[in-house]
């Protein structure tokens, strides 16, 4: 078995299949969840490497994707809100698809890749396609749901298209947006089979609303679905740490304030699981077509979720925090011929590392602007500890929370935007509290760890490449 470095020298990797999945937390069989049904993603993991500690740079769709696809961290992108487009702030940066396009690849975007369909037009060889248009295509198909959308819209002028938080229509896969997108993905694979390509195949579910064909709901018994282990606010949490999960509250039938009932929580988790199994089935069809076209042995595959998602943890839902549950997301990388397939790594990894990694695997020069580092060395040796920390951030009004994840701790400073003054701190000890239920920042025995992590943040802000070797 040859090393990846030697395979790169021999130009073995002609193509890239790039698979973003929206709001996908590491809730997959290959990540140890025995309840969820994801046989196709698990099969991909068997011929690749599962990154157990991969972190997005900001736990919300637009900024996370803009950071990864530009190779820049959120402060460089200047994009902290899902409505802001990357090109509004970085008009001249060479994006990941644009770099491949400049190097002779045909670059194609189908489905949800950037948050907004029209972001980064210079990155693609043809106009990006997404069924139902931009991200506001919620995709209800039943008369009941559509009627509720109409009722909601009459009272909520600013939030069009929202209805129930779940839908389980007895329809084929292509009745919903992701199934329609899959048809276009398969067409593109067939068209590109004799070309060198970078195909971005993005899936919208399990983003709200949790709409999936009934057959995927039927895979689960609602009464057997586990609720969150920690449905309570962490001890010692700061006023900046959590939120009122307005994203979910905007849907029909969700209360404006207060807790979600156990019955509704089970329905929502059921819907989330159904959507994950739906996407798993679509990804399986995509990978089967790649194999049928004899492209598997020359295509690097990267599947990732743009951030995590809370299903009742910390008495909260959705993303939008610096907690582990939101910043940690799945990352699976499959490289043809790699000796370390069907394995996992606990090496700290950041999503800004994906851009330079794909460049190295494809034999392309890594642009100087990229903030991350290639993790090809981790693909060669999954035991390698190549980073001291991974960084994420999230804004709260005039305050930015900067979070650093080390091997055993998560430390967050909430800093005033204008002055840099630290308004609040958090420290979670993963050795005894992996769910981050107790903020131990005021305990004296952690003083040295706090000093070290605080220094990491200073170094990080001085040099956005982080603390890799």
* Catalytic sites, residue numbers: 61, 115
CA distance 98 to 77: 16
List, in sequence order, every residue forming a beta bridge with 310; answer none if it has no partner: 318
Sign of the CA dihedral running 262, 212, 130, 367: positive
Euclidean distance between CA atoms 212 and 9, whole angstroms: 44
Strands 399-405 and 409-416 come out as: antiparallel
Nearest to 87 by CA among 111, 112, 70: 70
**Secondary structure, 3-state, 119-147:** CCHHHCCCCCECCCCCCCCCCCCCHHHHH
Contact criterion met (CB below 8 Å) for 72 and 352: yes
- Of 421, 404, 408, the closest CA to residue 459 belongs to 404
* Distance (Å, whole) CA 297 – CA 7: 12
Please state, in angstroms and rounded to a whole number, the distance separating the CA atoms of residues 57 and 62. Answer: 11
Query: CB of 426 within 8 A of CB of 224?
Result: no
For residue 117 the two structure tokens come to: 């369909």
462 with 447: CB under 8 angstroms? Answer: no
With b for 16 or more beta-carbon neighbours within 10 A and e for fewer, the 126-157 pattern comes to: eebbbbeeebebbbbebeebeebbeebeeeee
**Closest C-alpha among 89, 66, 27 to residue 280:** 27
The span from the CA of 318 to the CA of 31, in Å, is 20
Q: Give the C-alpha separation, 424 to 401, whole Å.
A: 9
Residue 136 near residue 130, CB atoms below 8 Å: no
How far the first Cα of the chain sits from its last, in Å, is: 27
**Gap between the Cα atoms of 372 and 357, Å rounded:** 9
CB 355 within 8 Å of CB 33? no
Q: Tell whether the torsion through CA atoms of 460, 411, 25 and 149 is positive or negative.
A: negative
Query: Can you say whether the dihedral through the CA atoms of 140, 20, 121, 286 is positive or negative?
Result: negative
């Amino acid at each position: 078995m040859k090393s990846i470095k030697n395979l790169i020298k021999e130009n073995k990797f002609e193509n890239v299949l790039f698979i973003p999945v929206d709001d996908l937390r590491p809730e997959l069989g290959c990540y140890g969840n025995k309840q969820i049904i994801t046989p196709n993603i698990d099969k991909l993991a068997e011929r690749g490497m599962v990154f157990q500690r991969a972190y997005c740079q900001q736990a919300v769709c637009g900024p996370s994707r803009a950071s990864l696809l530009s190779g820049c961290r959120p402060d460089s992108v200047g994009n902290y809100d899902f409505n802001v487009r990357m090109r509004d702030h970085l008009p001249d940066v060479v994006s990941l698809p644009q770099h491949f396009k400049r190097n002779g690849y045909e670059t194609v975007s189908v489905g949800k890749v950037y948050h907004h369909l029209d972001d980064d037009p210079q990155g693609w060889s043809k106009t990006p396609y997404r069924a139902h248009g931009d991200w506001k295509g919620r995709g209800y198909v039943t008369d009941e749901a559509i009627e509720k959308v109409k009722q909601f819209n009459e009272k909520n002028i600013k939030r069009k298209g929202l209805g129930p938080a779940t839908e389980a229509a007895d329809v084929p896969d292509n009745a919903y947006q992701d199934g329609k997108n899959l048809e276009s993905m398969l067409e593109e694979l067939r068209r590109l089979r004799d070309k060198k390509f970078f195909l971005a195949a993005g899936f919208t579910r399990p983003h709200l609303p949790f709409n999936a064909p009934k057959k995927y709901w039927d895979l689960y018994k609602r009464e057997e679905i586990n609720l969150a282990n920690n449905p309570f606010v962490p001890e010692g949490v700061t006023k900046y740490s959590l939120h009122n999960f307005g994203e979910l509250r905007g849907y029909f039938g969700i209360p404006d304030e207060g807790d979600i009932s156990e019955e509704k929580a089970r329905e929502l988790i059921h819907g989330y699981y159904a959507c994950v199994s739906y996407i798993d089935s679509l990804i399986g069809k995509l990978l089967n077509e790649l194999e049928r076209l004899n492209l598997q042995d020359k295509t690097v595959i990267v599947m990732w979720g743009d951030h995590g998602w809370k299903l009742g943890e910390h008495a909260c839902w959705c993303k939008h925090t610096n907690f582990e549950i939101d910043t940690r997301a799945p990352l699976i990388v499959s490289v043809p011929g790699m000796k370390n397939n069907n394995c996992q790594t606990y090496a700290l990894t950041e999503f800004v590392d994906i851009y330079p990694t794909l460049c190295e695997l494809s034999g392309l020069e890594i642009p100087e602007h990229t903030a991350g580092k290639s993790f090809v060395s981790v693909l060669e040796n999954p035991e390698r500890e190549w980073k001291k920390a991974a960084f994420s951030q999230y804004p709260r009004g005039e305050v930015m929370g900067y979070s650093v994840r080390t091997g055993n701790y998560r430390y967050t400073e909430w800093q005033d935007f204008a002055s840099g003054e630290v308004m609040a701190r958090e420290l979670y000890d993963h050795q005894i509290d992996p769910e981050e239920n107790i903020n131990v920042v005021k305990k004296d025995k952690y003083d040295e760890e706090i000093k070290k992590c605080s220094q990491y943040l200073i170094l990080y802000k001085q040099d956005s490449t982080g603390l890799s070797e």
